């Protein structure tokens, strides 16, 4: 794990290896194209524990004090499954869960449009970003 400062924001990076990711499915509009969790996913408890510590160590943080965590690595090594497991275990800690497929600019725009439509905004990616940025609650954007 390594930490970097970018414009005063801590970004924690973790490089992981070895687990395949699940299939994609549609869900409700707020969690767009959320992949199916793998029933064969095991382990990674250390990585998930680091995510929990990072997001929930200081419970006095206000929602305006956003935390970021960058999970990166080669395709097919388990990044998606780690995120799915983390959300499954911590679901009650978030008022909203947003899933954005960032595999291309087109999939990012599509997910943001879906969020905008599901939240009765104008359907544009920009309105989704403005709305998410204005939330004063604990949400997670994956």
| pLDDT digits 0-9 by tens, 115-138 | 999 889 999 999 999 999 999 888
- What angle (nearest 5°) sits at the alpha carbon of residue 124, between those of residues 118 and 129? 80
pLDDT confidence of residue 52: 92
Provide the token pair at 139.
Answer: 């949400």
pLDDT of residue 91 exceeding 80, the answer is yes
Sheet of 2-6, strand order: 2-6, 9-15, 68-72
**pLDDT tens digits, 39-72:** 777 778 899 999 999 888 876 656 557 888 888 8
Residue boundaries of the structural domains of the chain: 2-141
Please state the pTM of the whole predicted model.
0.66
């Amino acid at each position: 794990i390594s930490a970097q400062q970018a414009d005063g924001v801590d970004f924690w990076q973790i490089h992981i290896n070895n687990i395949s990711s699940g299939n994609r499915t549609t869900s409700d509009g707020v969690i767009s194209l959320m992949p199916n969790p793998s029933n064969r996913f095991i382990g990674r408890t250390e990585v998930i524990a680091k995510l929990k510590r990072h997001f929930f160590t200081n419970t006095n943080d206000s929602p305006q004090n956003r935390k970021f965590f960058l999970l990166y690595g080669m395709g097919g090594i388990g990044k998606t499954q780690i995120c799915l497991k983390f959300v499954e275990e911590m679901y009650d800690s978030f008022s909203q869960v947003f899933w954005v497929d960032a595999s291309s600019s087109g999939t990012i725009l599509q997910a943001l449009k879906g969020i905008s439509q599901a939240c009765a905004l104008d359907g544009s990616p920009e309105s989704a970003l403005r709305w998410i940025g204005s939330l004063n609650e604990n949400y997670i954007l994956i």
